[in-house]
Amino acid sequence: MNISYMYSLIAVMVLFLLAYLGAQVTVGKVFLGFIIPFLAAITFIVGFIYRVVDWARSPVPFCIPTTCGQQKSLPWIKSAPIENPSTTGGVIVRMFLEIVFFRSLFRNTKQKLKEGDKLSYEWEIWLWVGALAFHWAFFTVVFRHLRFFLEPVPACIQIVENLDGFLQIALPGLLLSGVVLLAAVTFLFLRRIFIPQVRYISLASDFFPLFLIMGIAFTGILMRYFTKVDIVGIKDFAMGLVTFHFHIPEGVGGLFYVHLFFVSILLAYFPFSKLMHLGGIFMSPTRNLTTNSRVKRHINPWNYPVKVHSYEAYEDEFREKMVEVGLPVEKMIEPEPPKEDAPPEEEAEPPEEAEPPEKEAELPEESEEKE
């Protein structure tokens, strides 16, 4: 038994019982119905902004041109305008492909030893397939749920709902996104269990959101297809929740409160966990920087102002002592008559002023990139 997923599973089970039993009493309903969702939403929004601002406060690195494609250079060298974009438009396309289709995960490879000791790299597409199915299904499910929060319901939700249920199987009509979500999250879980290397690096914090989302999908499917909750009552309640007119819905069972509690936990947990990749993907420096380092000069933004002590100032400070011990100086002390000590050295001696530090930082970059 793997202790990481046992802990997560037990945690989700405890949360389930807590919500299910709590929903049996009125005080529990008030907590599960208003107070916890409200606090969770606040935690989610504030925490999300806090994390993003925190990230924005770390310096942005120099652009990273060596990812996946040839950088734009000489006109006769074919460049990759999307994989290694030198324009803002290219960056937008690259970010779009990354956020919407997980382009970089698509390139996922797997290492393997073949015929004894031959190292080989294979294209491994299944994580990408699972991730894409999971995220899109989850997005569709969340989007569909807007019908509980908006009145009148916008037409676009109706279109998505119709597409989602186009198979017209069973009653109430089977919505594909729910099934795909549960299947994909199960696949992503099994992947962590059955692939030894992935199991080895999986932590409780990897399993917990998976179990939680499984719980959310499972309770949702149970309510829709099996226990048949009072959907009008729930919409009335949900509308009250988002417009601050709270009231307890009548005749809604414990399962609904479990569903709501799981979602609240997910929202509250979100900013403090790996789920923050929702915000983080927009800030990935390998994806969102224009790789125009050959065209545009980049100045290291965190160079601090260097205190320069020029030779002139140095001589001003120590002139008397220098003259005293017989060191050559550029300027003689004014009141004294000029000495004939060292006229030839004068011109050769003074070192040039130190260059501003920005220029120094650039030098290695320029020499490296001439390939």
Partner 1 sequence: MPNNKKMYDKGKVVAGLIIFGVLITFPLWYNHLKVAPAPEPKLVGKAAKAGQECIEPKSFMKAEHMLVLDIWRDTVVRSAKRVYVNESGKEFEMSLTNTCLDCHTEKAEFCDKCHNYALVLPYCWDCHIDPKEKM
Return the number of the residue (81 or 233) whose C-beta is nearest partner 1: 233
Cβ proximity to partner 1, 153 vs 183, nearer residue: 153
Are 176 and 164 contacting, i.e. CB atoms less than 8 angstroms apart? yes
Query: Distance from CA of residue 159 to its chain's centroid?
Result: 30
Is 62 in contact with 365 (CB distance < 8 Å)? yes
Cβ proximity to partner 1: between 163 and 363 the closer is: 163
Which lies closer to partner 1 via its Cβ, residue 180 or residue 223? 223
Q: Whose Cβ is closer to partner 1: residue 43's or residue 79's? A: 43
User: Which CB, 253 or 328, lies closer to partner 1?
Assistant: 253
To partner 1, the closest distance from the beta carbon of 245 in angstroms equals: 5
Interface residues with partner 1 (CB under 8 A) are: 44-45, 48-50, 52-54, 56-60, 146-153, 157-158, 161-162, 168, 171-173, 228, 230-233, 235-236, 239-240, 242-245, 279, 282-283, 301
Least CB distance from residue 174 to partner 1, whole Å? 12
Taking the C-alpha atoms of residue 52 and residue 102, their distance in angstroms, rounded to an integer, is 20
For residue 242, the minimal CB distance to partner 1 (Å) is 4
Q: What secondary structure letter does DSSP report for 24? A: T
Q: What angle do CA 155, 160, 162 make, to 5 degrees?
A: 95
Token pair 């499984």 is found at: 214
Q: Locate 16 and state its tokens.
A: 């389930």
Q: How far is the CB of 175 from partner 1 (least distance, A)?
A: 11
Find tokens 């040039």 and name the residue. 352
Q: Does residue 82 contact residue 97 with C-beta atoms inside 8 Å?
A: yes
CA pair distance 165, 344, nearest whole angstrom: 94
Q: How far apart are CA 12 and CA 10, in angstroms?
A: 5
CB of 122 to partner 1, least distance (A): 37
Distance CA 93, CA 98 (A): 9
The residue among 247 and 339 lying less far from partner 1, judged by its C-beta, is: 247
List all residues 6 or more positions away from 87 whose beta carbon is below 8 Å from its beta carbon.
Answer: 81, 290, 292
Question: Rounded to an integer, what is the distance from CA 102 to the centroid of its chain?
Answer: 12
CB of 232 to partner 1, least distance (A): 5
Q: Quote the tokens at residue 314.
A: 């140095």
Considering the complex, state which of residue 154 and residue 338 has its C-beta at the smaller distance from partner 1. Answer: 154
Give the side-chain half-sphere CA count within 13 A for 173.
11
Query: d(Cα 125, Cα 114) in Å, to the nearest integer?
Result: 19
Minimal distance, residue 227 CB to partner 1, in Å: 9
Rounded to a whole number of angstroms, the minimum distance from the CB of residue 14 to partner 1 is 28
